[in-house]
Chains A and B, each alone.
Chain A
Amino acid sequence: MRDYISKRGREIPPSGIRKFFDLALTMEEVISLGVGEPDFSTPWNICEASIYSIEQGGTSYTSNRGLQTLREALSRYLRDHYHLTYHPDEEMIITTGVSEGLDIAIRAVVDPGDEVLVAEPCYVSYSPCVTLAGGVPVPVPCLRKDRFRLNPDILMERITGKSKALIINFPNNPTGAVMRKEDLQAVADIVCDHDLVLISDEVYAELTYDGSHVASATVGDLAARTITLNGFSKAYAMTGWRIGYLCAPREICDAALKIHQYVMLCAPVMGQVAALEGIRRGEDEKNRMVSEYRVRRNLFIESLNRIGLPCHLPEGAFYAFPSVEKTGLSDYEFAEQLLKEEHVAVVPGSVFGQGGAGHLRCAYAVSRKDLNEAVRRMEAFIQRLK
């Protein structure tokens, strides 16, 4: 029998934490700081809206772009919150999570052989999606010394004649880093000078704690060449509903829409109805969760530094990214032993690409009680290392 697996299917790497996952499932009383999703259930008014809609028979396809009412509400929301101007009928698509948005954004602009710069450490799907589109991912490391912001000098070093696009994600998973306006301005100049497309994953925009989120497309001349991705998973605690959105200048949006139409048809209507309730009447609940994350962040970062895991204060998202260098263990060793000995699950930073080694991603989207218990166990573990 021949090998049926496609070259690309073979080329993309398996999950970097399969081993950990299987191990954790065999254990009792694991406290997981390994999850990239809120611990809150979706606010109940959002669930009610969707349940009601199902009772009314709202179970069909929507238009490819997604519900008109949702796009209109989002267009106003983006204008009021982030000074973004996207036309709901021409420059926006409701996607099946940011995950799909990323895929169709990349496929809309990448040809085989194109290089796509990926600011790392980052969410694990970026490079594989580039590979699947026939592109060549080129990592651009963001370093601790730069507070994990994208350094324009390092970006410049990685640009070649084949560079087509740059993917960034701020506030960042896994580092919690945030780019301020002046940081983005420097990147904007480079992106424009080299005629690149910017794919900006802003799924954690609402989870910005110090100051307010600056949307990439509002900086310099980026609007004309930026694909903005966002969604409901994180800020509204709606991971299971699978709703995101892609916003881009019309030509790019048209191309992405064709791909979306063929591979997805439309995002699930139940999720779209829920998202509409979220955008219309979810603000208070969202703010309540954000304020709780901020309190947990303060508690957790203080504790990490106290027990000997140096960590900068993340300005967004819900991840801490402490360094394990001082312990003498690699991030993999630390994460594995911590799981085996203390039943605390964290993710080794290397999983997220260049710049991640020597760090752990700890999600603090868990109850304060669990967070305190996790810290207690981590401290016991570190004490034994000494």
Chain B
Amino acid sequence: MDEKDLLLLQLLEENSRLTTREMAVMAEIAPDEIEARIAALESAGVIRSYSAVIDWERAGNGEVSAIIELKVNPERDYGYDRIAERIARFRQVRSLRLITGTYDLQLTVTGKNMQEVARFVSEYIAPMDRIRETATHIIMKSYKEHGRTFCEKEGSERIPYSL
């Protein structure tokens, strides 16, 4: 991993639809080398997938999301890993992290409506062995996701000319 790799990662994170040719010009690297570098980053698991950042509220599909925090009794030899892997398998779970602080695991869950999210937590997550406590926070509004703000406008209008 060198500086050029880092630049490629930044460019892709911002816009994963750039073509090889565009990236070659931007990063001052030959197209063949771009492809080789990206292939290497993919196979090393540094690039996990390519996706779009979507403002679902605006898309209006009516889904709701919640942040769920869990207190978990770790398992001998495995710590939190095995239970985390089980939780991660649910399609409803969008992200899952081990965190410091009062709680151990933090996940985001999406569902069609509040009831569905609540049911998912109470029926599937809370009853699992080793889960001692849950706290559910419904997300009311998203201001920023994946480094992108959802505000209407950034900054003010610039004048058309300045020398």
Contacts and interface: CB of A to CB of B under 8 A. Distances in A.
B27 interface: yes
Contacts of B99: none
Interface stretch (B76-84, B120-128, B134-142, B154-162): B154-162
B27 A20 contact: no
Contact of A34 (B7, B28, B155, B161): B161
A37 B161 contact: no
Interface string A30-57: 1010111101110000000000000000
A347 B163 CA distance: 8
A298 B26 CA distance: 5
A128 to B, nearest CB: 12
Interface of B: 7, 10-11, 22, 25-28, 154-155, 158-163
Interface residues of A, number: 28
Contacts of B27: 295, 298
Nearest to A300: B25
A291 interface: yes
A123 B163 contact: yes
20 contacts: A16-B163, A17-B163, A21-B160, A21-B161, A24-B161, A34-B160, A35-B161, A35-B162, A37-B158, A39-B158, A40-B155, A173-B163, A295-B26, A295-B27, A298-B26, A299-B22, A345-B160, A345-B161, A347-B161, A347-B163
B25 A124 contact: no
Interface string A352-364: 1000000000000
A34 B26 contact: no
A16 B160 CA distance: 14
Nearest to A42: B155
Contacts of A347: 161, 163
Contacts of B10: 291
Nearest to A363: B162
A302 B21 CA distance: 11
A36 B26 CA distance: 22
Nearest to B156: A41
Contacts of B161: 17, 20-21, 24, 32, 34-35, 345, 347
